[in-house]
A and B are shown apart, each in its own frame.
Chain A
Amino acid sequence: MVSDDALMLDFQRGSREGFEEIFERYRQPLYSFFRRRLSTSERAEDLTQEVFVAVIRGTSRYEPRARVRTYLYGIAVNLLAAEHRRQKTAEIREVEPGLASNESPDSSIWIREALGKLEQTEREILMLREYEQLSYSEIADVLRLPVNTVRSRLFRSRLALRQYLEPASQAQERQR
């Protein structure tokens, strides 16, 4: 399989296929990233589009210093921050309402509520790790934090989340 870096360099040299492949690989992950953090699927799609538009416009300036995945999620995090500033609403409200879930609604609500109780940066680290599958160093690059900080905060957030999810799992056990 051709690496993301090679595809980006192909695209920089004018290969449309390079971009098409990058788009195919990251359209769903980036959309999911925004969808879990925004209240409407329309805004999630708009911002996903913005990421790829930024890639298209910034092709000439692209330098393979970091992994393409980090580059894309870095853009996504910046766009999300701008969106939050624009909306001027509390972060927790972005996580909670109107999130389309195909899983059991109960479990989804418990998870969203539990995540909403976490501190903002810890929640972001945890979600980047669990849902976007970013490594510690990639999270550190995207959020501009030291790797050790990422690791300790991730551990802290997991312990906290375990406690917040405890009532849900107990309720499920009782139902069984």
Chain B
Amino acid sequence: MTEMKINTHPVSQEELMAYLDGELDAERASATAAHLEHCRECQLLAADLQSVARQLLGWQVDGPSADLDTRVRAQLNGQQPRKRSFSFTGSRLIWGGACGVVIVVLALAISTRNNGWQRLNRESASLRDVERLDRPRAEAFDVTGGTAGEPGQPAPLGVPQVSTPQGTGPLVVHKAELTLTTREFDKTRDELERVLAIHQGYIADLSATSPPDSGSSLTGTLKVPAAQLNRTMAALKELGRVDRESRSSEEVTRRYVDMNARLSNARNTEQRLTQLLRDRTGKLSDVLAVEEQIAHVRGEIEVMQAEQQVLSHQIEFATIELTLSEEYKQPLTVDHSSALTRLRNAAIDGFWNVAEGVMGTALFLLTYGPVLLVIAGVLFFPARYFWRIRKPS
């Protein structure tokens, strides 16, 4: 830490600190500022004090839960606030014990059921892994209660109604690919809409083609609640013959938690800067610098909020890439024209073929004839000379 002798400076160390804190009156502040401009020792001390303040900013805390608002407003309304801390009285102990027993019994029952399910379903290893990751999130992301709006009408991307995953266990983004072949394309397409409506899914992207010489096909991106993925896939597989199926999952728990932490931190910083702006009176340049910093932090917050919503949506809604093809059937065409007409048509075709052949030959000769004549003329005399030499006399 920088040491300085008081008798050599017109301002004391404490005054210098008070100046940095904006606590000096105007006269002392201007004297201190003038001294600080040319005193290297005081500049070092000021830098040390500011460094301490900056380092202390590294300790940020999270915000209170929404429960606090409820409790305080309940008190404002004259109700008794709920308090978290309570003593274990006799009746509470009994109720707590009974609840504990029920929870343990339920957990054992669920565990036994899951073990049986695993024994019965011996699918491929990759599919088993996907199922294992899928099940813990099923409860947390079960949106059958309509968290995103009306049933069958999930909120589009970016709309704040998208609920934030808050459960325990891993947060997983699910993806699946399914290629189907069907005999009745139009009917299957209607069925597809029905399956999505049942499972609260929706079509994010769809394109269909019907070329004349092959069957219709459809490629689309479907979004279904993660908890409904297994049931939706099973229902889709009923729509036709499965040509290809793949599943993948990506755990994003760490990414989600990091994003939340960064967002919370940025909000705290913004609040702190706003408080600073509100409470402190300083130089105009300082105020402008703080305002600029607030604008910068606000921009970062908005970007992070958008990223968080996208990630939440990806977690909440699984993606299914669906390809649906129609079995192509060659159409049976019958020529109903008479034999005479067919002979006449054949004769006309023959005539046109001869005419096309003659015309083609004429065009070839006219196009390349002159060049061929020149080449023949050039080669004629050397060829005749060699012929005479080799000819026995």
Which residues on A are within 8 Å of B, measured CB to CB? Answer: 16, 19, 23, 27-29, 31-32, 35-36, 41-46, 48-49, 52-53, 56, 99-104, 107-108, 110-112, 129-131, 133, 135-136, 151-152, 154-155, 158-159, 161-163, 165, 168-169
Contacts of A100 in B (CB 8 A): 61-62
In the complex, residue of chain A having the shortest beta-carbon distance to the beta carbon of B45: A159
* Contact flag A45-B65 (CB < 8 Å), given A29-B275, A133-B280, A136-B21: yes
- Whether, in the assembled complex, B309 has its beta carbon less than 8 Å from a beta carbon of chain A, the answer is no
In the complex, residue of chain B having the shortest beta-carbon distance to the beta carbon of A147: B23
Asked if A102 and B275 make an inter-chain contact with CB atoms under 8 angstroms apart, the answer reads: no
Asked if A35 and B61 make an inter-chain contact with CB atoms under 8 angstroms apart, the answer reads: yes
A48 to B68, CA, bound (A): 8
Asked if B84 and A28 make an inter-chain contact with CB atoms under 8 angstroms apart, the answer reads: no
B285 to chain A, nearest CB (A): 20
Contacts of B369 in A (CB 8 A): none
In the complex, residue of chain A having the shortest beta-carbon distance to the beta carbon of B78: A56
Asked if B264 and A102 make an inter-chain contact with CB atoms under 8 angstroms apart, the answer reads: yes
| B: number of interface residues (CB 8 Å) | 43
Contacts of B14 in A (CB 8 A): 151-152, 155
Say what secondary structure dominates the interface of chain A.
helix
In the complex, residue of chain A having the shortest beta-carbon distance to the beta carbon of B23: A136
Asked if B59 and A36 make an inter-chain contact with CB atoms under 8 angstroms apart, the answer reads: yes
- Whether, in the assembled complex, B1 has its beta carbon less than 8 Å from a beta carbon of chain A, the answer is yes
Contact of A165 among B55, B61, B81, B262 (CB under 8 A): B55
In the complex, residue of chain B having the shortest beta-carbon distance to the beta carbon of A106: B58
User: Which B61-91 residues sit within 8 Å CB-CB of chain A?
Assistant: 61-65, 67-69, 71-72, 75-76, 81, 83-85
* Contact flag A46-B1 (CB < 8 Å), given A16-B76, A161-B52, A169-B55: no
A158 to B56, CA, bound (A): 11
Contacts of B30 in A (CB 8 A): none
- Whether, in the assembled complex, B261 has its beta carbon less than 8 Å from a beta carbon of chain A, the answer is yes
In the complex, residue of chain B having the shortest beta-carbon distance to the beta carbon of A108: B59
Asked if A56 and B62 make an inter-chain contact with CB atoms under 8 angstroms apart, the answer reads: no
Contact of B265 among A23, A29, A103 (CB under 8 A): A103
